Amino acid sequence: MRPPEIEHSTREEREQCIRELFRCRGDCDACGLCQVYRGKEPEIAYQDYIDGKRSFLEISMEYR
pLDDT recorded at residue 32: 77
Over residues 7-59, the pLDDT tens digits come to 999 999 999 999 999 988 788 778 777 778 887 889 999 999 999 999 999 99
Question: What pLDDT does residue 11 have?
Answer: 98
Domain count of the chain?
Answer: 1
Q: Considering the domain boundaries, does residue 1 fall inside one? A: no
Residue at 51 is within a domain: yes
pLDDT at 52: 98
Closest CA to 42 of 25, 29, 30: 25
- Residue 13 falls within a domain, yes or no? yes
Confidence band (pLDDT; 50, 70, 90) for 3? very high
CA-CA distance, 15 to 4, in Å (whole number)? 10
* The predicted structure's pLDDT at residue 40: 83
Contact 15, 50 (CB under 8 A): yes
- Tell me whether residue 58 is in a domain: yes
Domain residue limits at 13? 6-62
